[in-house]
Structure 1
């Protein structure tokens, strides 16, 4: 039967488009559409600018496009840039159980390598599904347990997903893909230290994972070797990052090829940490004007508290957009005050709004162990008004979750709003159509050419 990495490698090497059920193909199309739209918005806002400029300076051969820009680069560097863009606004999707942002490394790796080799849309979709299935299962083997140790699951698991993508597109053998997984393990990284000051390192985690996975696969196809026991240990991924706590190793391959994690990925309605979305919706649903609110209490899953609620003081007056996106009190206050488009909820204007800052100080939290985290990122919210009323709202399944998905129309609207920030309206609509039919494209260049600016 082999090790977990060998079993996953056999799945990746043998996966064909015709193996994919229609709902899996449809899900992959939706997530690729969402990821590209978010990357276009990030390019318009200059997010991840230093990474873009570094990539431009190192560009070399123009093998793969950088989304929203007028230049290309070798596949590993284009993937670094596009992965950073896709994750830069915290508007990209999340696989709920594993708490991994998979499209931020899967889609950039697929586009970069796919463009290099002239892959078809069907090839891209197949490779993307391989990446989704591998990376999400690694995170799901220890759901939420990397996070509580200050480790970013997207960075840790993403290198394996990107290696699967590149390995499938390059046609590596199962042994070569297993070697790539072993190599990818030594490139897994990503710390939550950015939470202390709202700095930009989290944006890089997905880009670095996409880059590292391609490098791992390229090294493997040239004969470089990696440990086949990267998931079993000793000194493997879980042994190193979980400090002796045992993961559910059977989860790595359980249902592989029959149960599809690609269909279990949530799409974000807000550009912020997924853990605050339910509370934002609940605050809006309460229907109380901000000035009439005396106190708000958010009942939140304990593992999420250290990410979005504590320490409390810096979250009341976030110094950067990134701090605001990981602030429960600020997110709830900004949603209730309203009057802004989604991408403006956490920007400079909102962070200078005295109404938002005043209300944020009235938002508190309490741990709730009854919430089904991480199966959903739901929560409960109580609003106490100055007039003595008490309003309770439960959002146990966050909007955009696969059990409560955004409609195709809502997703298309999100894409067009994002894409029009960088492309003319007609060009944005053309890109939308191409992405909605990506599995019908003969060559991926027919898409990527529509995503670059003159």
Structure 2
């Protein structure tokens, strides 16, 4: 990574916001290793696919209706309609769409990053006429900022009931916007300080439902791009927004662990991003992957199952693993029991099934779900937190067991370019014409060659989305 004496934690007793601001404002496209550039383009492609797929989901239609009722000055492009609106409106709507189907990325240090960062960066980059290289640099900066702050706060925040995608997302969006605007270190520090006043968002939905969760990424994107613009125009914010007495770490994370930032400082944290291939909370992915393998290997049928024991990292137990009776799409996507039952009954975990109310009360699905027994287990040293041990006990006493560290799409088992492109094409299949889907894929995967991001956004729009 690009470093200097000013960026060296040992030589920089400045507030954390100033340190991160110096790093963000000094970042250049030429600093990025090839693997970082390539992954960033795939994450952008994945995010666009999630945004376009979200255009037809029922849970976020109220957001699209509200956007239609308050059109703004044409500055950037709405993914669902291809229409133009203000940067703030576009960042909000596109970020919400990206997070609407629980198919966007996850990050072990920062919850969900690109739904806030990519939507913010694209909206502002389109207005500013920024290039594809500018966009890539902005996304890397935004994810890095979120993950650095999250390294000091995420476990404690989650335990306290705060959602990292919203608490941290405003800062990632502000960093990405700062790169597009070319902010000075002082302006970027102010942008973080301003963004801090919009940190928030609880995880109450994880146990009791509520589709508001999908707006967390969008509202973070909107607040972040506004914070950066306000800082450019002269508004100030506290440089101690993270580590001050009433800063983010104390208020949201019980003081946090500021020393943890130094252990992550010289790493490209975007490389830890998880690409999700199941439409649900990341803590469920390893169990679903293992159960699918055991089912296929041993021909396990629903009627044969006596119980299913699932060992998980401790924080996963309260983060959806105990939900057994979903009442909306979000609680279905967080419910390990429902997801396991759905896989046994239908043979897969199709995104559409999580949005189908009849599935939530299907007695066959619920009966399998009632056999699922999640428990907290110690994760072996060196293995990802998202690891699992599954024991499927049949009614005749036979037990099939497997342990798995991580899951496909996790940094420990990275998604390939082909995996990600296939996910994108599947997400937009039937929503946009094949020719336009191919054009989007090619344009995004050659983003560094595009003089303006408008080469991408001109391809937005879902022709057959529901009438609002």
Written as runs of structure 1 = structure 2, the 5 A alignment for 1:236-385 is: 236-243=247-254, 246-252=255-261, 254=263, 256=265, 258-287=266-295, 288-310=300-322, 315-340=323-348, 342-348=350-356, 349-370=358-379, 375-385=384-394
Q: Identify the residue that residue 92 of structure 1 maps to in structure 2.
A: 104
Which of the numbers 24, 49, 67 marks the counterpart of 1:55?
67
Q: State the Cα deviation string for residues 39-93 of structure 1 (Å, max 9, x = none).
A: 1111132441111222222221111111121322111111000110011111111
Q: Where does the alignment leave 5 or more consecutive residues of structure 2 unmatched?
A: 1-11, 464-468
* SS of aligned partner of 2:204: helix
Kept after mapping to 2: 8 A contact 1:277/1:398 = yes
The answer to whether residue 85 in structure 2 is matched with residue 73 in structure 1 is yes
What is the aligned length?
Answer: 446
Aligned Cα root-mean-square deviation (Å): 1.7
Which of the numbers 229, 232, 238 marks the counterpart of 2:243?
232
- 289-298 or 353-362, which moves further after superposition? 353-362
TM-score for both structures, normalised by structure 2: 0.92
Tell me: CA distance 1:427–1:192, structure 2 relative to 1, closer, same or farther (3 Å): same
Please state how far the C-alpha of 1:309 moved relative to its aligned partner: 2.2
Please state how far the C-alpha of 1:340 moved relative to its aligned partner: 4.6
Written as runs of structure 1 = structure 2, the 5 A alignment for 1:410-425 is: 410-425=419-434
The answer to whether residue 399 in structure 2 is matched with residue 390 in structure 1 is yes
* SS of aligned partner of 2:103: coil
The answer to whether residue 34 in structure 2 is matched with residue 22 in structure 1 is yes
Q: State the Cα deviation string for residues 351-389 of structure 1 (Å, max 9, x = none).
A: 344321211111111211235699431111110001220
Written as runs of structure 1 = structure 2, the 5 A alignment for 1:76-225 is: 76-96=88-108, 98-225=109-236
Tell me: CA distance 1:371–1:85, structure 2 relative to 1, closer, same or farther (3 Å): farther
Please state how far the C-alpha of 1:148 moved relative to its aligned partner: 1.2
Kept after mapping to 2: 8 A contact 1:159/1:185 = yes
Which of the numbers 47, 55, 60 marks the counterpart of 1:43?
55
Q: Identify the residue that residue 6 of structure 2 maps to in structure 1.
A: none
* SS of aligned partner of 2:49: helix
Supply the distance in 1 between the matched residues of 2:382 and 2:201 (Cα, whole angstroms). Answer: 22
* SS of aligned partner of 1:94: coil
Q: Identify the residue that residue 400 of structure 1 maps to in structure 2.
A: 409
Kept after mapping to 1: 8 A contact 2:151/2:264 = no
Supply the distance in 2 between the matched residues of 1:336 and 1:139 (Cα, whole angstroms). Answer: 36
TM-score for both structures, normalised by structure 1: 0.94
Tell me: CA distance 1:159–1:372, structure 2 relative to 1, closer, same or farther (3 Å): farther
Please state how far the C-alpha of 1:255 moved relative to its aligned partner: 5.3
Supply the distance in 2 between the matched residues of 1:86 and 1:226 (Cα, whole angstroms). Answer: 29
Please state how far the C-alpha of 1:399 moved relative to its aligned partner: 1.9
Q: Identify the residue that residue 438 of structure 2 maps to in structure 1.
A: 429
Kept after mapping to 2: 8 A contact 1:176/1:220 = yes
Q: State the Cα deviation string for residues 230-255 of structure 1 (Å, max 9, x = none).
A: 11111000111123xx3221333555
